[in-house]
Amino acid sequence: MRTLLLAAALLAAPAAAQNSSFVGEYGIAEGPDVGGGLLIRNDGRFQYILAAGALDERAEGRWEARGDTICLTTEPRPVPPAMSKGTPGEIDGAVPTILVTWPNGRTVAGVDFTIGFDSGTPIDGYTQYDGWTMPDHDTRIPRWVEVREPIYGITAPRFVLTEADGGKLHVIIEPNDIGVVDFEGACAEKTERGLTLHRAEGDMRFVRLGED
């Protein structure tokens, strides 16, 4: 992980960027199962990378000093992933109640959902490689579905099912710039050992590398 960050050269830059005490390389300090880092370059640019379980993040762009902090802006601004309604199709010879795929048709497991009906308690669950199918003993017809991809936090407005849907839903996840973090307005402040980056999802602590 550190090798990827070191691959970026520290280029010549305007004096305001060169003189910043934030310039340098930092490693993530968030636990044994998390790896990544942040490179603050002296040309006013930054690079960020993170691997935490199934989550992979990255970003690059520009930084600017604001008082005692620096603030990051991802460039170009990423297009977030989106969900859309597709045509239900067969998996292993049957049409599942809920199927989530990528645009190429590859199925997506582990997507959380809530199914609502005309009456009774909604059903909560998550998809498998072959989607998810209503239990044989439950003859209710799904009327709406809410879908949530938990790793990258991808959501969509509630899908309302019509008579033409026949109680089936195929959701297509368009990845766009999935994994690219939009650091618009995310600022970092110095700490004794490195810096703390404040972002909407929570604070991230980094330790400066190359120092005792």
Span(s) in the chain for CATH 2.60.40? 82-174
Q: Is 16 helix (H, G, I), strand (E, B) or coil?
A: helix
What is the residue-level pLDDT of the chain in tens, covering all 212 positions?
443 443 333 333 443 444 579 999 999 997 778 899 999 999 999 999 999 989 999 999 999 998 899 999 999 999 999 999 999 988 988 999 999 999 999 999 999 999 999 999 999 999 999 999 999 999 999 999 999 999 999 999 999 999 999 999 999 999 999 999 999 889 999 999 999 999 988 999 999 997 64
Span(s) in the chain for CATH 2.40.128? 2-78+179-208
Structure tokens at 190: 């110095």
For residue 53, report the phi and psi dihedrals to the nearest 5 degrees: 65, -125
Q: Could you give the CA distance from residue 102 to residue 166 in angstroms, rounded to a whole number?
A: 22
Q: Could you give the CA distance from residue 102 to residue 114 in angstroms, rounded to a whole number?
A: 20
Q: Could you give the CA distance from residue 127 to residue 148 in angstroms, rounded to a whole number?
A: 10
For residue 143, report the phi and psi dihedrals to the nearest 5 degrees: -110, -25
- The dotted CATH code for 82-174 is 2.60.40
Residue type, 52: A
CATH for the 2-78+179-208 domain, from 1.10.238, 1.25.40, 2.40.128, 1.20.144 = 2.40.128
